[in-house]
Amino acid sequence: MYGFEALTFNIHGGYLEAIVRGHRSGLLTASDYNNLCQCETLDDIKMHLSATEYGPYLQNEPSPLHTTTVVEKCTLKLVDEYKHMLCQATEPLSTFLEYITYGYMIDNVVLIVTGTLHERDVQELLEKCHPLGMFDSIATLAVAQNMRELYRLVLVDTPLAPYFSECITSEDLDDMNIEIMRNTLYKAYLEDFYNFCQKLGGATAEIMSDLLAFEADRRAVNITINSIGTELTRDDRRKLYSNFGLLYPYGHEELAISEDIDQVRSVMEKYPPYQSIFAKISYGESQMLDKAFYEEEVKRLCLAFEQQFHYAVFFAYMRLREQEIRNLMWISECVAQNQKSRIHDSVVFIF
Amino acid sequence: MSSSWSRALTQISPYTFASIGIAISIGVSVLGAAWGIYITGSSLIGAAIKAPRITSKNLISVIFCEAVAIYGVIVAIILQTKLESVPSSKIYDPESLRAGYAIFASGIIVGFANLMCGLCVGIIGSSCALSDAQNSTLFVKILVIEIFGSALGLFGVIVGIIMSAQATWPAKTA
């Protein structure tokens, strides 16, 4: 019953909600980002970061530092926090936390399959995988030749198994198929997550519906823009859109027939929440679209913390941390390549 | 003997009603206090890991919840002093019934007022702990809300005591 969560939420979730809110207070603020943007070298960045919550993770790294090391250690912090929360959680929070990682699993699967297709070494690929999306049999993905084998050998034992029913074909894997596979899996995952949150009900369902709908719509726009000019047919494109969200179903009809960015823009401007995003970028320019979407996402994620006694704070925290790691990666790369003028192109401030 | 519900109710001994009232006054008040304490306590423990400074101040929320249980105990003790024996010929007199019902009502008033008060203070205490961990200037302001919340229990106690003051059993001599 919506409105009465406060009476029973704290029995199982009170401690973890307080912990995740404590973690949120450790996110980097605008003044931290200002300091980081003024750095000249990666060692300066390391020094500034050791004054924040990342201190214990970075202090043992020897100089010279690489940008990948910085990102790796920051991700490690996120993984540690996540594992701590997961082992303390009871049902249904533990299922909810596991759902958050399925997206990373899908990305890892696609990474390894693509890498194998381009004949890279399996060990090298495993190191690049996101640690939150690891599962036991991931190394055997390199053996599979087509999707049926992929499913039968590896994925049937993982939580991703139910998402495969829509995309099993016997064709061999190639770049186009893999992208379609990625998007089909992600679509099934988002719908599954959405239904799970609806079953939980209450404030969790309400807030997660909003966050997941935005995610679904953003992916729809990205799929549309990335498939303009490729050989993806309109029907195939329409099959990749999720069946919930603001754009469902009429927006999807219009997006499926869009052939360039201005048409996409005219479709999106009919929806007031997305009008503000598209107003920020001028005609014909799509590079800033990513940043505009990230900013809108961060705004909505911060709003999830305004309410107490629901699970969406966990999801919001993981996403905000991810955004912070993206910011740190961008700043480190700009500093390492001496292109500090471009730092503000892609950093999204959280506070 | 016509069989109607009102007949059935007036045949129940007033002592039953009085005893149940006393049980509800202490039992439900303690339920409210315990509920409030666990709501506050779980958030307080989690928030204090990142911000240890909040622990001592936020125990006030727990104390407000505990006060609710104390009100319940006090009223239960007062109510049980109101129980007097009447000769068996007078047990179903209107005067006796009135005394029994008064003690019962007093117990219910105090019990449920304290239940709601305990819940209210507990939920606010949980939000207070989480906000204090982020921004310590918020603590005193949220405490004012808690003080208003704990006044609810006091209203219940006042009305309960007034109610029970008029619980006079018929005199022993005819």
pLDDT at A166: 67
Comparing A142 with B119, which gets the higher pLDDT? B119
Q: How far, in Å, are A166, A209, B22, B171 from residue B90 at the CA level? A: 81, 65, 22, 9
* Residue A328 lies in domain: 10-84+311-350
Calculate how close chain A gets to B63, using CA atoms only, in Å. 19
Q: Is the separation of the CB atoms in B122 and B37 below 8 Å?
A: yes
Q: Note whether A19 and A64 are same-domain residues.
A: yes
Q: Which residues of A163-199 are buried (b: 16+ CB within 10 A; e: fewer)?
A: bbeebeeeeebeeebbbbbbbbbbbbbbbebbebbee
A94 lies in the same domain as A80: no
Let me know: does A336 contact A286? Beta carbons within 8 Å: no
ipTM of the complex: 0.88
Where does a domain end: A143, A176, A196?
A: A196
Cα–Cα dist B51/A204, whole Å: 26
Mark which of A196, A212, A228 sits at the end of a domain.
Answer: A196
**Is B32 inside any structural domain?**
yes
Q: In angstroms, rounded to a whole number, what is the distance separating the alpha carbons of residues B39 and A15?
A: 10
* Nearest CB neighbour to B126, from listed A14, A16, A22: A14
In chain B, the residue whose alpha carbon lies closest to the alpha carbon of A23 is B50
Amino acid symbol at B90:
K
Band (A140; pLDDT cuts 50, 70, 90)? confident
Total domains in chain B come to: 1
Q: Write out the residue range of the structural domain in which residue B94 sits.
A: 13-166
Are A57 and A121 in a shared domain?
no
**Looking at the partner chain, which of A6, A7, A22 has a beta carbon nearest the beta carbon of B47?**
A22
| Chain A residue numbers touching B54 (CB-CB < 8 A) | none
What CATH number does the domain containing B102 carry? 1.20.120.610
DSSP string, B62-118: HHHHHHHHHHHHHHHHHHHHT-----GGGTTSHHHHHHHHHHHHHHHHHHHHHHHHH
The per-residue pLDDT for range A237-289, each reduced to its tens digit, is 888 888 888 888 888 888 888 888 888 888 888 888 888 888 777 665 666 78
Both A99 and A185 in one domain: the answer is yes
Residue B2 placed within a domain: no
Residue A31 in any domain: the answer is yes
pLDDT at A132 > cutoff 70: yes
What integer is the mean pLDDT of A85-113? Answer: 91
How far, in Å, CA of A20 to CA of A41, rounded?
A: 32
pLDDT one-digit tens code per residue, A21-70: 999 998 998 888 888 888 888 888 888 888 888 888 888 887 778 888 88
Contact A15 B50 (CB under 8 A): no
* Total number of domains constituting chain A: 2
Kindly identify which residue of chain B lies nearest to residue A10, measuring between CA atoms: B39
Rg (CA), chain B: 21
- Please give the Cα distance from A147 to A142 (Å, whole number): 12
Instruction: Report pLDDT for A210.
Output: 94
Cα A32 from Cα A129, distance rounded (Å): 28
Q: What is the pLDDT of residues A305-349, one digit of tens each?
A: 999 999 999 999 999 999 999 999 988 888 888 888 878 777 778
Averaged pLDDT for residues A11-28: 93
Contact indicator for B57, B142 with CB cutoff of 8 Å:
no
Closest to A135 measured CA to CA, from A115, A161, A114, A116: A161
Residues linked to residue A146 through DSSP beta bridges, in sequence order? A172
Residue A117 lies in a domain: yes
Q: Which residue of A14, A23, A26 is in closest CB contact with B43? A: A14
**pLDDT over threshold 70, residue A169:** no
The whole-number average pLDDT for the span B37-57 is 94
CA distance A326 to A333: 11
| A105 and A176 housed in the same domain | yes
Phi, psi angles (nearest 5°) of residue A221: -65, -45
- Averaged pLDDT score across all residues of chain A: 86
What number of C-beta contacts closer than 8 Å exist between A and B?
A: 61
- What pLDDT does residue A121 have? 84
A141 part of a folded domain = yes
User: Which residues on chain A place their C-beta less than 8 Å from a C-beta of chain B?
Assistant: 6-7, 10-11, 14-19, 21-23, 25-26, 308
What letter represents residue A265's amino acid? R
Alpha carbon B129 to chain centroid, angstroms: 25
When CB atoms are compared, the residue of B35, B46, B134 closest to A14 is B46
Contact B133 A16 (CB under 8 A): no
d(CA B33, CA B115): 7
> Has residue A254 been placed in a domain?
no
Q: Do both A104 and A140 map to the same domain? A: yes
The answer to whether B18 touches B103, Cβ cutoff 8 Å, is: yes
Extract the tokens encoding A191.
């719908």
Counting residues of chain B whose pLDDT is more than 70, the rounded percentage is: 98
More confident position, A247 or B117: B117
Residue A320 maps to which CATH number? 1.10.132.50
Residue finishing a domain among A165, A196, A227: A196
> Does residue B120 lie within any of the structural domains?
yes
Which residue in B162, B156, B19 sits closest to B80, CA to CA? B19
- The answer to pTM > 0.95 is no
Residues A95, A192 within the same domain: yes
